[in-house]
Amino acid sequence: MIGIKLFRDIIRKVNKISTDDFHLANEMQLVFDKQINFEPVRGNLKQWKGYVGTIEGTEIPIFANIYIQDGFPEIPPFVDITPKVNHPNVDEDGTLSMRLLAEWEIRYHIYQVMIDIKQLFINVPAKPYKTKTKKPKGEQRFSTLPRATIPVKTIPQASFASIDPRIEEERRSIDKTIVNYQDKIEHVSRDIEKEREALLKEGGIAVQSRTKEISISLEDDLRAESLSVQDTLEIIQEKFEDGDMTNIDYLKLHKRYAKKGFIAEKQLTQVKSSSSGDMTKAEEKILNLEADLFASIATLDNLVRSYEKSEIEQIAYRKQLRALIRGIFKTRLELEKVGFNLDDFVKRENLNNRYQKGIKQLMVVEGKETADTSSIPFDTLKKIPSKTADFVSSAIELIDLTRLRSVARADLIIADIEEMIHILKTFPSIPKDHWVIGDMNNWREIIGKYKPQEIIKEEDCEKLEFQAARWLNDFRRVLKEL
């Protein structure tokens, strides 16, 4: 009885270690294993500080302070930023809001928070503090995060170029203390577990280990990455709507993070459905190609919407449209080798509902928009991909110009017509006296009567839109016969 009572007393003492300090020690080890440049403040494992970037246009460093609250990991950490900065995710009092914190789960870790903070300030640089920064849409719910009860301490922002030897010595001392602290916890945990197992065996009770290591879960990492990408896309959208980002930068960043988000979601699904979650090299290649196609369609949808709202200049629209269509062609060429089916992909990813305008534009490329336009197998497009992509891009741009009317400038229309003529003259199996080339030359003369910056008449727009569709259909017919 004395042995059991003693054991129970020890268990009660160690329970606090195993649930609080043991968590903190393991979190510390994960941070060090991941080699993240955050350190506990004066050896306090409940407060971490790390460099996350500089204020835009300056060399002023930005630091994130992470406070681990009582009840961790059930309760998320609290984060503030010093010094004061203008950033969509930082309140006036310096509190940082992130999706990862707002949607916190017990399986998440401190090192994931650190990685997300760093990535956030890379994706969206902080500006000098002047006025209150508008929060992203839907971000209000993030501000309801519980605040830390740990008092904020002002820590000198030492230069990373030259560290005071005394500070370095203190840091080494802290590191040593932390390692010793973790060793003691592990030793006590092992001793208690052995004692518990021995007592349970004496009583004929089956032994189940109570001590669990905090594992680094790939599923948790992928879920955290997915949340981080969603956060970034919302911030990019907000900055664009506030005029802090050009349309071109917005489209490029949107495409990059749409691809990252697609890959993270698919890898997360793979991990959930497989015990190992491992992918073959062939599967990884297909995933990357599908992610490229998905991101291109999503960006094409944004491009079309921006163009219809006159938010993007014609030259920029033309450049982006061509780049996207060329990218789609290139990706499709690779996917066709493994039996890819575009219709199945569109249905599987629900793209008709998610990116309606992007899919509609893609169907124009594919030759499926109208009843009188015959659909062509993709293998006919891939024979001369560069010229095919350029001709289709010019035709789509010309149709869009005449359809929207208000942007149908004479110089822009002539540029498209001349490029299409040049492509057809060098395209296989198209004779020099082909009717499309003759018709294009006639229209070049008609539009040439306008002044370069002049908007052509509505009746000319209607006729030219119809003719451009005919030219595109004939081009598809030529592709079929190649």
| Model pLDDT for residues 34-61, shown as the tens digit of each residue | 667 788 887 788 888 888 888 888 888 8
pLDDT of 372: 38
Which of 18-27, 132-141, 197-206, 332-341 is least confident? 132-141
pTM: 0.52
Q: How confident is the model at residue 180 (pLDDT cuts 50, 70, 90)?
A: low
Superfamily for 385-482? Vps28 C-terminal domain (1.20.120.1130)
Asked if residue 73 has a cis previous peptide bond (ω within 30° of 0), the answer is yes
The arithmetic mean of pLDDT across residues 76-94, rounded, is 88
Domain boundaries, the chain: 14-181, 246-366, 385-482
Class of domain 14-181: alpha beta
CA distance 162 to 167: 11
Angle 345-309-259 (CA atoms, 0-180°, nearest 5)?
30
Which of 358-372, 404-418, 421-435 is least confident? 358-372
Which has the closest alpha carbon to 236: 215, 261, 213? 261
| Model pLDDT for residues 363-404, shown as the tens digit of each residue | 766 655 443 334 444 444 444 556 777 888 888 888 888 888
Per cent of the chain over pLDDT 90 is 12
The arithmetic mean of pLDDT across residues 326-336, rounded, is 81
The arithmetic mean of pLDDT across residues 455-462, rounded, is 92
Length of the chain: 482
| Model pLDDT for residues 283-324, shown as the tens digit of each residue | 888 999 999 999 999 998 988 888 888 888 877 887 888 788
| Model pLDDT for residues 287-297, shown as the tens digit of each residue | 999 999 999 99
CA distance 114 to 104: 14
CA distance 290 to 295: 8
Q: Say which residues have a Cβ less than 8 Å from residue 226's Cβ, sequence separation at least 6.
A: 261, 264, 265, 268
Query: Could you tell me the two tokens for 374?
Result: 């015959």
Q: Say which residues have a Cβ less than 8 Å from residue 445's Cβ, sequence separation at least 6.
A: none
Query: Could you tell me the two tokens for 67?
Result: 């406070």
CA distance 381 to 365: 10
Beta-bridged to residue 39, according to DSSP, are 49
